[in-house]
């Protein structure tokens, strides 16, 4: 029993010292964020309508507005850090970002190094082709017959890569791009025949570029999208989840979806 008291006392002293050093309040990541009044959120602002830069040079988009609201509810402001998409997970993992929102899907691989919030939106995938496309895409797996493009590091990339590893899709027929709009442009000028991406941005690109159409829409690789948070950061994740639930119940999320996606 004395042993227990001893350890208890030691930990209490240790905790007190830490608290004294760390300033007022506790010392979880969430506390630090609240103390700083700032949450560093990574995004790749080249993916309309989820996150992009508008004509005034400001960040805009579904994810952007949602995250700003979440931060507001936490009582902090967002410090946006814009990075190429495939650097974002590493950014959270290395502790350079407090969180990241960039239309992320859950994958087991990602889960090993970061944590996910509950889903804040559900989405499907879409295959886009040029208007003169004469092939068949009745089901997703039909894509193996064509030259296909995808954004690097996305779940769609993962799905297609699996097909390559299974020997169904020739490696040479898969092109990876840093940004979705790069792939769309190559689709338009015929360098690739099919493009796979999240349905909403895909439709936006199709509409903007012209000469393209959606060949297939449905759940292929994605599904719900989540906020990415640091591994093992239960306090922050819990806080974010609570707010997401609240915003969904209030209809905030739906309204945002109508504003940005029209649905």
Residues that bind another protein (CB under 8 A): 42, 45-48, 52-57, 81-84, 87, 91, 94, 96, 178-182, 184-185, 205, 208-209
Task: Measure CA 137 to chain center.
Answer: 27
Q: Give me the least distance between CB of 181 and another protein, in Å please.
A: 4
Q: Is 207 exposed, middle or buried (0-12, 13-18, 19+ CB in 10 A)?
A: exposed
Q: Which of 127, 62, 86, 115 is nearest to 241 (CA)?
A: 115
Give the residue with the Cβ less far from another protein, 51 or 247. Answer: 51
CA distance 167 to 105: 25
Q: Give me the least distance between CB of 249 and another protein, in Å please.
A: 32
Return the H-helix or E-strand segment holding 36: helix 29-36
Give the residue with the Cβ less far from another protein, 102 or 173. Answer: 102
Q: Give me the least distance between CB of 219 and another protein, in Å please.
A: 25
CA distance 11 to 71: 33
Q: What is the DSSP letter of 176?
A: E
Q: Give me the least distance between CB of 212 and another protein, in Å please.
A: 11
Q: How many CA atoms lie within 13 A of 239 on its CB side?
A: 20
Q: Which of 76, 90, 98, 101 is nearest to 253 (CA)?
A: 101
CA distance 25 to 16: 11
Give the residue with the Cβ less far from another protein, 114 or 180. Answer: 180
CA distance 108 to 168: 23
Q: Give me the least distance between CB of 27 and another protein, in Å please.
A: 17
CA distance 84 to 72: 25
Q: Which of 77, 205, 61, 55 is nearest to 130 (CA)?
A: 205
Give the residue with the Cβ less far from another protein, 47 or 116. Answer: 47
CA distance 98 to 28: 12
Give the residue with the Cβ less far from another protein, 137 or 209. Answer: 209
Q: Give me the least distance between CB of 35 and another protein, in Å please.
A: 18
Give the residue with the Cβ less far from another protein, 139 or 208. Answer: 208
Give the residue with the Cβ less far from another protein, 94 or 254. Answer: 94
Q: Give me the least distance between CB of 84 and another protein, in Å please.
A: 6
């Amino acid at each position: 029993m004395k042993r227990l008291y001893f350890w208890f006392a030691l930990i209490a002293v240790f905790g007190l010292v830490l608290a004294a050093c760390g300033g007022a309040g506790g010392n979880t990541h969430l506390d630090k964020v609240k103390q700083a009044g700032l949450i560093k959120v990574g995004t790749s602002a080249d993916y309309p309508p989820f996150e992009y830069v508008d004509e005034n040079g400001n960040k805009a988009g579904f994810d952007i507005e949602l995250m700003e609201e979440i931060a507001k509810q936490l009582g902090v402001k967002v410090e946006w850090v814009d990075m190429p998409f495939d650097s974002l997970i590493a950014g959270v993992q290395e502790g350079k970002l407090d969180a990241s929102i960039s239309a992320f899907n859950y994958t087991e691989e990602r889960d090993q190094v970061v944590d996910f919030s509950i889903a804040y939106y559900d989405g499907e995938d879409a295959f886009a082709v040029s208007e003169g496309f004469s092939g068949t895409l009745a089901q997703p797996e039909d894509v193996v017959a064509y030259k296909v493009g995808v954004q690097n590091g996305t779940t769609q990339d993962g799905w297609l890569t699996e097909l390559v590893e299974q020997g169904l899709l020739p490696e040479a027929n898969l092109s990876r791009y840093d940004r979705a709009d790069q792939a769309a442009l190559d689709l338009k000028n015929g360098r690739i025949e099919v493009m796979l991406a999240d349905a909403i941005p895909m439709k936006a690109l199709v509409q903007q570029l012209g000469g393209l159409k959606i060949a297939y829409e449905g759940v292929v690789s994605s599904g719900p999208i989540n906020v990415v948070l640091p591994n093992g950061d239960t306090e922050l994740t819990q806080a974010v989840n609570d707010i997401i639930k609240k915003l969904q119940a209030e209809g905030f999320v739906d309204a945002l979806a109508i504003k940005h996606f029209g649905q």
